[in-house]
């Protein structure tokens, strides 16, 4: 798939933050009104000074896997809170360029606008790949929310001041929630509905992300054991 390289990654910390501020001005929270045909999930895993990015493409209706691609590369940046996307996007884009499918929506294991500058990986990456995106995080990053009902499908908006920046979503009854946010070109309701569509019996994590996560773990283990992958 094509990548529109909107900026380089040879950047100072101050330049990274300025890019985030500029991208935030162009975020579109708009309804996704058609039924997706194919979607994909993205996850990354780290080992030593490297990372592996995996993209799993699924048929939206059947939730069957169509394609899986990955890329392994060295990490260019140390981890800096709020700037994780600059560490992960270059490796993700290399995997994206290997993909033959043309997914309608992209799910990321990470945040979208649920971010101090509103530009988590799901949002930032959307400008490179020109796709609607959704962020699904396993842990709470920022913002406040009301106590959540224990029933499956319950959710509460996450606020930063008066601004809604995401939702905490209970995907299974009496299990820990996930944190859902708009990446770009969808609404929060779209993001919640599409997330619940991919919830199976096996996990609180939507299957589109869970399968990518399983692949990153498998590939990382194989690489660490010096197996051919």
Q: Summarize the annotated binding site for Mg(2+) as residue ranges.
A: 43, 109
Q: Summarize the annotated binding site as residue ranges.
A: 43, 109
- Spatial distance between the Cα atoms of 114 and 188, rounded to a whole number of angstroms: 11
Distances (CA, A) of 180 to 27, 218, 220: 16, 25, 26
Q: Write the CB contacts of 23 (distance below 8 Å, at least 6 apart in sequence).
A: 119, 123, 124, 127
CATH topology of domain 13-224: archaeoglobus fulgidus dsm 4304 fold (3.30.2170)
For 33-47, the DSSP string reads -SPPSEEEEEEEEEE
Query: For the chain, what are the domain ranges?
Result: 13-224
Each as own residue / partner, the long-range contacts of residues 218-223 (CB below 8 Å, 24 or more positions apart, any chain) are 219/45, 219/52, 219/54, 219/70, 219/72, 220/45, 220/46, 220/47, 220/52, 223/47, 223/50, 223/52, 223/72
Q: Please report the beta strands in the chain, taking only residues with DSSP state E, as ranges in sequence order.
A: 38-47, 50-59, 65-74, 105-109, 133-137, 155-160, 163-169, 178-184
- Spatial distance between the Cα atoms of 199 and 175, rounded to a whole number of angstroms: 13
Q: What is the pLDDT along the chain (229 residues), one digit of tens a residue?
A: 999 999 999 999 999 999 999 999 999 999 999 999 999 999 999 998 999 999 999 999 999 999 999 999 999 888 899 999 999 999 999 999 999 999 999 999 999 999 999 999 999 999 999 999 999 999 999 999 999 999 999 999 999 999 999 999 999 999 999 999 999 999 999 999 999 999 999 899 999 999 999 999 999 999 888 755 4
Model confidence pTM above 0.95: yes
């Amino acid at each position: 798939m094509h990548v529109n390289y909107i900026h380089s990654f040879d950047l100072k910390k101050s330049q990274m933050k300025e890019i985030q501020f500029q991208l935030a001005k162009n975020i579109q929270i708009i309804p996704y009104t058609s039924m997706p045909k194919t979607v994909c999930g993205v996850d990354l895993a780290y080992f030593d000074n490297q990372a592996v990015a995996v993209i799993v493409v699924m048929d939206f209706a059947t939730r069957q896997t169509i394609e899986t691609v990955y890329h392994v590369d060295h990490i260019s940046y140390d981890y800096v809170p709020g700037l994780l996307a600059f560490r992960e996007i270059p490796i993700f884009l290399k995997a994206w360029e290997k993909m033959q499918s043309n997914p309608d929506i992209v799910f990321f294991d990470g945040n979208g606008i649920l971010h101090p500058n509103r530009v988590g990986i799901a949002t930032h990456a959307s400008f490179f790949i020109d796709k609607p995106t959704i962020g699904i995080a396993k842990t709470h990053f920022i913002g406040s929310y009301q106590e959540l009902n224990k029933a499956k499908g319950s959710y509460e908006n996450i606020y930063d001041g008066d601004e809604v920046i995401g939702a905490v979503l209970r995907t299974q009854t009496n299990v820990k929630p996930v944190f859902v946010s708009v990446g770009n070109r969808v609404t929060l309701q779209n993001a919640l509905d599409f997330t619940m569509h991919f919830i199976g019996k096996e996990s609180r994590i939507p299957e589109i992300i869970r399968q990518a996560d399983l692949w990153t773990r498998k590939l990382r283990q194989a690489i660490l054991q010096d197996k051919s992958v």
